[in-house]
Amino acid sequence: MSLQTEEEKLLIQSHFEDLLRNCPRCSSEEDIKLITKAFNLANEAHKGVRRKSGEPYILHPIAVAKIVSQEIGLGAKAIACALLHDVVEDTDYTIEDIERIFGKKIASIIDGLTKITEVFDANSTIQAENFRKILLTLADDIRVILIKLADRLHNMRTLESLPATKQMKIASETIYLYAPLAHRLGLYSIKTELEDLSLKYRFPQVYEEIQSKIELNEKRRVQLINHFSLPIIKKLEENNIDFEISGRPKSVYSIWKKMQTKNVSFEEIYDLLAVRIVFNPYPHIPEKTQCWHIYSLITDIYKPKPDRLRDWVSTPKANGYEALHCTVMGPNGQWVEVQIRSQRMDEIAERGFAAHWKYKDMDNASHENELDKWIKRVREMLENPQENALEFLDEFKVNLFTSEIIIFTPKGETRAMPKGSTALDFAYEIHTEVGNKAIGAKVNHKLVPLSYILSSGDQVEIITAASQKPSWELLKYVTTAKAKNAIKNALKTETKDRLEKGKKLLDDRLVELGVQPSSKILKKVLTSYEVSSKDELYSKIGSGQVNLDNLAKILKKNTKNKWIKYWQLQLGRKSHPQNEPATLQKIDTKKPFLLSENVDSENPPYVIARCCNPIPGDDVIGYISPDDVVIIHKATCAEAIRLMAQHGDRIVSAKWTTHKVLSFLARIEVKGMDRIGIINDLTRVISSELMVNIRKFHIESHDGIFEGFIDLYVHDISHLNNLIFNLMKLKGMDNVKRVDKFDD
C-alpha cells in the first residue's frame, strides 16, 4: 500500500469532476450531494490501494460510474453504487455500514454487486447456484446487472496489465455470459465492445489480422459510403426529412463470427458496408410509417435484396430493439446494409434498458414491452428453482442466446418465443392450464402434433381436452424453461394428490374393518396386490387401479414368507466399480422380477426389448445387461433364447403386475376384402368403441384386397386380444394378427 502523490490526487479530482460535469440524469443538488458523499467514502476506503497497472484504485470505480452515467444513462443512485461497488468486498466496510450511511436501497444493490463477484470463483455447481441467486436481483433491481456490466467493460478495457492466463479467464467469462447479457438487455454498443475485446484477448492474432484489414480498407470504405450516401441524402432532403446519416463498419467480432459460421474469407463477406439513418420524426405521423417511407425512398434508388429485409419496427426484438434493416445493391456492385431508426429507437438501441424508462408510457399501466416480458420470464424461472443448478444455468443461457420468433394467436395477437420452440411450448406460453390440457395444435390451420417446431410468422391454435393430463413423455416435446417447470410441477402435484388420496382410502377401509394399520398389515397388502412399495400401492389405489373390495379376504390370508423384495434399477446407471459386485448381487435371480408400472418415475425400472416388443400378459424373462439395466424379452424371442444359452447367470424370471395406466406400443397386421367405408369402420372400432390411441396407420389396396398394419397403444395382452376379436367381426375382414418385431 502506498500513499497518493499530489499529482495523483489532482488526477483523481479531475476525473471525479468530469463525472459530475457529464451526468445527464444528475439534475438536482441532492443528486450531486449523494454522488459526492459516495465518492468521498470510496476514495477514503481505497486510499493507498493500486490496480495491477499501478494507478490508484479509486480511478476504477470512477470509470465504472462514468460508464453507468454516460453510456448506460442511469441516475444518481446507480452512480453512487458504482463508486461504492468494491468497498464492501475489498475494505473493512460492511453492508450494515453502507445501509446506515446510504440507506436500504443502495445497500441492497451493493450487496448484489458483492455477491456477483463470487460467481466465477467456485466449482461449476456452486457457480451456477450463485448465478441463480444473483439473477434474483432482477426481481428487485436490474441496476445490479447494469452496474456489473459497466464494471466488466472497464476491466476489459484495462485488461492488458494482467497476466495472459488471467486475461484468457476474464475474456472467456465475458463472451460466455456478460456479452449475451448486455445483448439481451439491449446494450448494443457495450455488447459489441465486450465481444471485440474478448476476441482480442482470446485470439489476438485473428483480432489483429481482421482489425488491420478493416483499417486497410478504411479509406476505400469511406469513399464507397460517400458515393452510396449522396443520392440518398439528396432524396431525403427533397422530402423534408430531418436526419443524420453515418457509415458504420461491422465489428471485428461480427466479421469473425460470420467468417466462422459461413466458412468464408474476410473478402467474401458481402455486407461489410453499413449505413445508419437516424431521423427526427414528425410528431403526428407514426414512426413506423416514417421508417417505411424512408425505406421506399431508398429502394427507389437502389434495388433491395428481398431475403435481407428485417422488420423490427412492427415487432420489436425481445430486448426492445426497434429498427428497419434492409440490404441494397450499391452503385459499385457491392451490397450495403441500411439501418433506419428514429432518434428514440436509436437511443434505445445504443443505451438499452435505461432508455426504456425515459420512453415508457407511464399513464398506461397495462403497457409492457418485450424486455419487461423477458425479465418476467426470468423471474418465473427463478421462482421455480431447479434441483440441478447447472440445468438452470444452461436453460438461462439458452434464453440469452436464442434469437426470437414471432408467433400469432388465432386472434392475431403476437407472442415472442425462443427459436426452436414447439407447439407445446407455445401452449404453456399462453397459460399453464392451456399447456396442461393440450392434445394437439393447428399451425396455419393445419393439424400438427405438440412436438411440431414453430417458425416465425406461424399462426397457432392449441387444441385442448378436459381429460388431458401432463406426462413425463411431454418433457421431450418442450424447450422453454417455463414449459418444463409447468410440466414437472403438474406431475409432482398430481403424484402427491394421488398418494394422499390412496393412503386415505386404505386407512379408511382398514378402520371400517376394525384393523389397526401396521407394518405387518401393510406387508400383507403389498404382497397380495403385487406392488413393490408403499408409494406404488397408494398411487394405484388413488388412481383406481387397485380395488379394495377384497381387502377383508386378503387380511385373513397367511402370507408369511411370500414377500418379494423389489430392486428398482435406474436407466443409464453407470456400471459398478470393479471391486464392487454388479446389480446381480442385489437382484435375486431365483425370484421373480416384478414389472410394476411406476407411473411417477421419469426413468422406468426396466426396458422393453425392441426385437420382440412384449406387452403385459406375455410370458417374459429379464436380462441384466452389462450396464445393469433389466431388459424385458418375450420368453419365445430368438434373442432371449440366445441370451439364456450364453448368459444364464444374467437371466431373471419376470412377472407383470396390473397395468392400467401405462400403455405399450403394439402392431397388428390386417387383411381383407376392400370396400367403401372399411377404413372408417377400422378407426371407429379402435378409437371410438375401444378408446385405443393409434400411433401409425398404413393400409394399401390392390385388386379388391386391402392389407396393412396399425401401430397402437394397449395396456396388456387381454386388451390387445379384445381389440383383435372386435376387428375380426368387421364385414370382409380376413385376418388380424399381432406382429412382434417392428420399428416404432
Question: Is 89 assigned a catalytic role?
Answer: yes
DSSP β-bridge partners for residue 401: none
Four-CA torsion 371, 373, 375, 377, nearest 10 degrees: -140
548 contacts 502 by C-beta, under 8 angstroms: no
Task: Label residues 281-313 b or e (16+ Cβ within 10 Å = b).
Answer: beeeeebeebbbbbbebbeeebeebeeeeebbb
- Quick one: cell of 95? 453492508
Give the DSSP H or E segment for 656: strand 651-656
- The secondary structure of 195-255 as a DSSP string is HHHHHHHHSHHHHHHHHHHHHHTHHHHHHHHHHHHHHHHHHHHHTT--EEEEE-PPPHHHH
- Quick one: cell of 512? 371400517
Specify burial of residue 643 (Cβ count, 10 A radius: 0-12, 13-18, 19+): buried
Specify burial of residue 355 (Cβ count, 10 A radius: 0-12, 13-18, 19+): buried
Helices (H), 513-591: 519-528, 534-542, 551-556
Using DSSP bridges, classify how beta strands 324-329 and 243-247 pair: parallel, antiparallel or unpaired.
unpaired
Distance CA 628, CA 567 (A): 12
- Quick one: cell of 314? 412492427
C-alpha of 520 from chain center: 48
Q: Which residue shows C-alpha cell 418465473?
A: 380
Report the side by side order of strands in the sheet with 630-634. 593-595, 651-656, 620-624, 630-634, 607-608
- Quick one: cell of 5? 502523490
Task: Label residues 478-496 b or e (16+ Cβ within 10 Å = b).
Answer: bbbbbbbbbbbebbeebbe
Residues in contact with 84: Cβ distance below 8 Å, sequence separation at least 6, in sequence order = 38, 41, 42, 61, 98, 102, 106, 110
- The secondary structure of 171-192 as a DSSP string is HHHIIIIIHHHHHHTT-HHHHH
Q: Which residue shows C-alpha cell 381383407?
A: 672
149 contacts 190 by C-beta, under 8 angstroms: yes
Active-site residue among 17, 18, 30, 89?
Answer: 89
Question: Is 208 assigned a catalytic role?
Answer: no
Task: Determine the number of helices (DSSP H) and then strands (DSSP E) in the chain.
Answer: 30, 19
Neighbours of 680 (CB within 10 A): 9
Four-CA torsion 484, 485, 490, 491, nearest 10 degrees: 60
692 contacts 723 by C-beta, under 8 angstroms: yes
Residue type at 22 in one-letter notation = N
Active-site residue among 90, 311, 461, 639?
Answer: 90
Active site residues: 89-90
